[in-house]
Structure 1
């Protein structure tokens, strides 16, 4: 989803979209005149030649071709699968916390989950870096490096967003966290400083990067490191060095828990900076221009920051130092002015995408942030998860042109789009389903449509789809998948398998169809299948009379094979008198009484015998000729035996 329509004019939006659009040149001659296209499953559409007129006699022999065009999905690469799966676990945990947060404050839990997301991205970057180092193919290596750039930007933006909108900073004094952000993501000169301090040699100024490193430590607020490096200078005992060291040592540092109010700290800070400014104006450092530059930075002189800006890749590197030496008591809502000042250090220049996002973050414009991160080539992973956590933290409010709050609509649309994307993958579809389920009711309706379109290559996959559908109470999907399984097995002549799928579907129509197929096959001489299944089917047998009859009939065969003839006879009589047997099965059912009638001891009572006789007369058309005569004779003999037994009992 592109949310630019909420704030941009249609013309601007169309222009920007056309600038980003890719152009394809169709390679075949058959596409030169007229073409058409149609959407297929997922992110694929098909282009094919199409003639506007019907020509019965072809005028040329050009072969028609079909082109399938598919969007390249970054997240579907094998190395990024771990990112998708692990972030899904964090996403689901966040939904549970958000559900519980309706009754209490869970800001600490939200912060913990945000850091989990960042940790997942960091592991992903390290995996990509490791793979890039091992890769020998230049094209593949460039792809991996581009992925690293994307996820580095994601980590950088997320960290700053966490500081400004997710973390509950005491007193809203953001400087310590801002310095930490700069040091972590833009670690200029850190390695050089560590090497110099480890060597601990006087005369370190001979190192070509000595002064750049000292200044870099000051700009990043690493005051102790800068002082330690200055002591390695061969002239460290000079008054100029002692003067700088003393100023750095006495620099006030604000702490919420220090027992000093922000107003008192401001007075102390301004007094300290006035002392530094007086030392600078006294020209005591004129003989040491590098020390003078450090002092100019300490008093917050803008031209000093302009002079050091060219040493860094971006204005982000100096942002923390600029806030540190101009307004260290700055609150998050006041960072926009510092960002403007630091960005202006570059002069007129074209801003990078990261520049735009960071500026929007520092200005507190989350609408613009989400709009910009949607343009990143991560297939919506970042926009989806960041928007979701900001929404649950209560820090996100998006209004449309009518000033209607569309925050939830935006959050849901991003999640649904991301979930739909994952459901197009052969193994990530279940992950996508969990995202869809988090946006009821529309998400489940979409999920139902998408689940039914997933190709089923094996019974194991069908069972997995059924399990997921039952998990989210998508009974329609269960019926559809089971119906397909039942139909496929019926077409393949596997009546037992069709019964199994019909019972799973809990669909009376499918159960009836499968049961009738089995019963008809049995009348043609095919053995009864799936007896164990029917014996354990339980309530599923009640879905249809034909299935119930088949289940009881299988039970009759089990009793007969176990030589429990009286129980078998009792069950057979109940099947005859229930009148639920299909018409084509009456011949078989009546003939099943014959071996029981001929048993050594009577198993049918006289009443049972009369029931069989009545049934035989009422359904004489199903049993004719010699078979009917044999059955009548057996019935008469059994009636005589039972009459004698009844007489003896009397």
Structure 2
């Protein structure tokens, strides 16, 4: 994806080239090389779990469920899976960043929050980016006596995050509690108006907010906490005092933490459309920089510049998981057109394919890879892509090969199924298991391949005197018609079975085989030897002289067409045996005629 052009136009796609070259190139942009490295169990579970969510999402779309409810629900399932992965200490720390950015995207894009509720959600979001409250509170008990400054910085951070209850908790843990100034500060914090839900009237909330802030301003103006105390600073922060926020800038770890905290108390009804201006003001006046990936992604979301946001996602070391799943949600959102993303469909396809290809390089994840490929519109329209992907799969066992074939047939890809059959047949030919090779060749319905395997079995018979796959050949039905060589092999196998028990049937079969011209050239001498052995047996009776005439006629034709393939000793024996049987047949015919004349 690093080769993606600036306008996000999807590059040409090839399964073969991507597996040979593209995956290696992707590894340079993605620290986890799924080709060379064995992925850990948490990551494997994450991939499987999110693939299940992806499959369920597609099924729900087909059922025409309400997308405005469905997409936020699915988004939270993806984020929950990321949280589990991050808790497992997997080898992909980048997903901590992804989880944070995804959460922000939910708040601003996937399920935009209304004014009042928005700032609360953003405060909670910034709180999740820092160490947990439980860790902070447990640390404070041990370090308070040695580090008073750390205590008050933590107190201010909790206020900036809107974690008022936790701020009151640490006040009560201070050794000076319940001194009057501590209890007054707790009362101020506990009386902060909260926008309950989207149904609350914003103007009503704003009126309550103004009354509360006026009270706090009065407390600060009267210097009831003094003029240079932590509580006085807290009052100034609670009233959105710009100068005080600048003085306390050191407690904020990022420009967006600073911007959100300041807006929470200066303009609590800030809307999504106001965030771009808020970001610009913060970055231009506060001295913060936004060069790290998280800051850049947050800035793009604040400005609702999804074009830039998606371009940056392409550079993450997450093997394209985020782009594939997040953009899939956005593409199916009813509000996507409002964001004016150039070539969004092509980009969506590219993310899905890149993610699928990387999964395809990991042998155990091939089914998951096919799930994503089969949901690419270009793959549905151009089935050659899916066909090539299926053919490229490694199938070490017949069970896996049959499973891949079943998927190919389910996807309506008969060419892929036939190719897998052919490859399996060639594999078993190389391993010398001709009976198995014949089974796969017949399934492929590929006449040249079936003929080749049949000839190999016949050649092996000349060396060993044993025919492989006799049971299989015995049960052939219409499949026998796939190849003349297969028909010959099946009939010769039948001849081989009955030559001792039923010489007459064997004679008829042999005559048919010689007359059919289905035999490979190297096997004609064997047919003639079989004919000699059969005719030399006393119990063999040729009831019809025409049969012998046809046999000799076939012999003459073989001599004419393939003179080098019939040896003279065999020819002499055959002529003698045929002449003898013909004489016996004529003698029998004369005796029968005389008997009829006598009576």
TM-score bin, normalised by smaller chain? 0.7 to 0.9
Matched, 1:41 2:2: no
Q: Could you report, residue by residue, the CA deviation over 1:580-631 in whole angstroms, capped at 9, with x for unpaired residues?
A: 4456655645665677778898898x46x74454243343454732124324
Cα deviation per residue 1:76-99 (whole Å; 9 max; x = unaligned)?
233457525632552464255235
2:58 is the counterpart of 1:98: yes
Q: Is residue 316 of structure 2 the alignment partner of residue 376 of structure 1? A: yes
Q: For the Cα contact (< 8 Å) 2:19–2:357, is it kept in 1?
A: no
1:326 and 2:263 correspond: no
Give CA-to-partner distance per residue, 1:61-89, whole Å, 9 cap, x none: xxxxxxxx988751423345752563255
One of 26, 29, 32 as aligned partner of 1:74: 32
Structure 1 residues 260, 41: CA separation in 2 closer, same or farther (over 3 Å shift)?
closer
Gapped runs of 5+ residues in structure 1?
9-37, 47-68, 130-143
> Alpha-carbon deviation of 1:291?
1.0
- Tell me which residue corresponds to 1:216: 157
Query: 1:249: Cα distance to partner?
Result: 2.2
CA contact (8 A) 1:236 1:242 kept: yes
Q: Distance in 2 between matches of 1:106 and 1:567?
A: 72
Give yes or no for contact 2:255–2:290 (8 Å, CA) kept in 1: no
Distance change >3 Å, CA 186–CA 462, structure 1 → 2: same
**2:240 aligned counterpart, secondary structure:** coil
- Whether contact under 8 Å (1:419, 1:432) holds in the other structure is yes
CA distance in 2 between partners of 1:379 and 1:404 (Å): 22
Of the candidates 291, 301, 309, which is equivalent to residue 231 of structure 2?
A: 291
SS of the residue aligned with 1:243? helix
Superposition deviation, residue 313 in structure 1: 2.2
On the 8 A contact 1:80/1:124 being kept in 2, the answer is no
The structure with the greater share of residues assigned to helix is 2
Change (3 A) 1:394 1:461: same
The alignment status of 1:547 with 2:486, answered yes or no, reads yes
Which of 614, 617, 632 is the matching residue for 2:550? 614
| Deviation of the 1:418 alpha carbon | 2.9
Corresponding residue of 2:304: 364
Shift of residue 267 of structure 1?
2.0
Q: CA-to-partner distance for each residue in 1:346-405, whole Å, 9 max, x for gaps?
A: 415353221110111122111111111222233433223322232233454599xxx895
The corresponding residue for 1:438 is: 375
Q: Which of 215-224 and 338-347 deviates more?
A: 338-347
Cα distance change, pair 397–558 in 1 and its aligned pair in 2 (3 A): farther
Deviations 1:95-150 (A, max 9, x none): 55235425332444433433333333334334436xxxxxxxxxxxxxx6xx42x2
Gaps of 5+ in 2: 10-16, 559-569
Aligned CA distance change for structure 1 residues 497 and 612 (closer, same or farther; 3 Å): farther
Among candidates 414, 419, 436, match of residue 351 of structure 2: 414
Q: 1:164 aligns with which of 99, 108, 112?
A: 108
The structure whose RCO (Cα within 8 Å, separation 6+) is larger is 2
- C-alpha displacement at 1:262, in angstroms? 2.3
Give how far 1:512 is off.
1.7
3-state SS, counterpart of residue 502 of structure 1 = helix
Residues 334 and 513 of structure 1, relative CA distance in 2, 3 Å threshold: same
Aligned pairs for 1:334-345 (under 5 A) are 334-343=274-283
**Bigger shift: residues 232-241 or 309-318:** 232-241
Q: Is 1:179 matched with 2:123? A: yes
* CA distance 1:565–1:222, change in 2 (3 Å): farther
Stretch deviating more after TM superposition (623-632 or 541-550): 623-632
Residue matched to 1:228: 169
The offset of 1:339, in angstroms, is 3.7
Partners in 1 of 2:234 and 2:577 — Cα distance?
118
Aligned residues of 1:186 and 1:317 also touching (Cα < 8 A): no
Deviations 1:231-280 (A, max 9, x none): 344554554334333222222111227x6322322222222222222222
Distance 1:74 1:617, change over 3 A: same
* Whole-angstrom CA distance in 1 between matches of 2:70 and 2:145: 47
Q: Residues 528 and 554 of structure 1 are in contact (CA less than 8 Å); yes or no, is this contact kept in structure 2?
A: yes
Are 1:6 and 2:7 matched, yes or no?
yes
Say if 1:597 and 1:635, in contact at 8 Å, map to a contact too: no
Q: What is the CA-CA distance between 1:510 and the residue it aligns to?
A: 1.1
Question: Do 2:18 and 2:357's aligned partners in 1 also have CA atoms closer than 8 Å?
Answer: no
Question: CA separation of 1:249/1:498 partners in 2, compared to 1, >3 Å: closer, same or farther?
Answer: closer
Q: Does 1:243 align with 2:184?
A: yes
The 1-side partners of 2:377 and 2:290 are apart by 43
Residue of 232, 245, 255 corresponding to 2:196? 255
Separation in 2 of the partners of 1:525 and 1:242? 101
Q: Once structures 1 and 2 are overlaid, which stretch shifts more, 218-227 or 75-84?
A: 75-84
Matched, 1:522 2:461: yes
Matched residues in 1 for 2:592 and 2:434: separation? 44
Task: For 2:410 and 2:236, locate their aligned partners in 1 and report how far apart those are by CA, in whole Å.
Answer: 65
Instruction: Supply the RMSD in Å over aligned alpha carbons.
Output: 4.5
Note the C-alpha offset of 1:310: 0.6
Seen in structure 2, the aligned counterparts of structure 1 residues 210 and 543 have a Cα distance that, compared at 3 Å, is same
- Judging changes above 3 Å, is the alpha-carbon distance between structure 1 residues 215 and 45 closer, same or farther for their aligned structure 2 residues? closer
Aligned position for 2:251: 311
1:121 counterpart residue number: 82
Deviation track 1:548-586 (CA, whole Å, cap 9, x = no partner) reads: 22123324434557x477776776676567664456655
Are 2:30 and 2:318, in contact at CA under 8 Å, matched by a contact in 1?
A: no
CA distance in 2 between counterparts of 1:643 and 1:291 reads 135
In 2 relative to 1, CA 429–104 (structure 1 residues): closer, same or farther, beyond 3 Å?
Answer: closer
Give secondary structure in 1 for the equivalent of 2:289: coil
Count of aligned pairs: 571
Match of 2:444 among 501, 505, 519: 505
Alpha-carbon distance between aligned partners in 2 of 1:305 and 1:242, rounded to the nearest angstrom: 24
Judged with a 3 Å threshold, the aligned counterparts in structure 2 of structure 1 residues 375 and 645 are, in CA distance, closer, same or farther, namely farther
Contact 2:424 2:437 in 1 (8 A): yes
Q: Displacement, 1:451?
A: 5.7
1:418 is paired with a residue whose SS is helix
Structure 1 residues 172 and 294, CA gap change in structure 2 (3 angstroms) = closer
Partner of 1:58 in structure 2? Answer: none
The 1-side partners of 2:194 and 2:124 are apart by 15
Cα pair 1:280 1:295 within 8 Å, conserved: yes
CA distance in 2, matches of 1:7, 1:242: 57
Cα pair 2:42 2:88 within 8 Å, conserved? no
Q: Distance in 2 between matches of 1:170 and 1:535?
A: 75
